[in-house]
Amino acid sequence: MGKLSGAAVPGGWTERVRALARGELTPVVPRRAATVLLLRDTGETGGPAVHMLRRRASMAFAAGAYAFPGGGVDPRDERPVRWAGPALDEWAALLGVGRAAAQAVVCAAVRETFEESGVLLAGPDAGTVVADTTGEDWEADRAALVGHDLAFADFLDRRGLVLRTDLLRPYARWITPEFEERRYDTWFFLAALPAGQLTRDVSGEADRTAWLRPADAVAGYGRGDLVMLPPTITMLRDLLPYDSAAAALAAAAGRDLTPVIATATVDAAGAVVLTWPGHDEFTRDAPGGGAR
């Protein structure tokens, strides 16, 4: 099998797969998470740019990989907030979960985007969005959210803000394979950068941020310059046909949100085979799976 060009591969995964096959490994229950692909038009050819972060080499999960702003659900994300956009029942149906889980996933998407990029998908009412999130007071609130000293619901309530769920478009759902030590059940969303707001390099989990056109990011992955997990490169490739952020958001309607999860097996020869349903590239190029 060949080597994935720029794929982030977990260390020691083949040993964990073999342990799973022998019944010696109990899969970790995946934690719900949300990730947002922030898009902005550049006024140039080549389609919209997407905001990406390179995870620090010291990170326990996907170290050195390029990713989008996002993270795990906080239990407090289930707390009621002022809500604009599709009703919670509609979100629950879209995401394939119950009302409480849908509330938490949508809130996590907006909260994590603010925590990791300074961009906030909320406004004073259902028709407006905050135009500027810079300044010491905003930074203090962002830091308090990151430190779990402030619940997202309290942050919105204190500032009199409405969660603009209508600015999010569900795009995909991927679940970390069973053999991984850290597992996430992650929903991916699209959103356009609100007018007036700017991304900031504020994530403590990243050592670099950049606005990249999907075509450039895909090319960097192909050269091996940009390391990415399978869902990240897949999302970028899915954006290639669109010439604007609006076109990408419009095309998100009706996307298949069936969870994508890799399965790992040990064949008769003792080789480890990792299979990604619907994504043969990652199956074909799975590294380190030789017999032993």
Report yes or no on 96 lying in a domain.
yes
Binning pLDDT at 50, 70 and 90, where does residue 277 land?
A: confident
Query: What CATH number has the domain bearing residue 179?
Result: 3.90.79.10
Report yes or no on 177 lying in a domain.
yes
Select the more confidently predicted residue: 57 or 84: 84
| Domain with 110 in it | 28-214+243-252
Report yes or no on 10 lying in a domain.
no
pLDDT tens, residue by residue, 169-223 = 999 999 988 888 888 999 999 999 999 999 987 766 667 889 999 999 999 999 9
pLDDT tens, residue by residue, 223-245 = 989 989 889 999 999 999 999 99
Report yes or no on 224 lying in a domain.
no
pLDDT tens, residue by residue, 21-74 = 788 888 889 999 999 999 999 877 778 999 999 875 544 455 578 999 999 999
Report yes or no on 37 lying in a domain.
yes
Both structure tokens of 174: 């991927």
What total number of domains does the chain contain?
Answer: 1
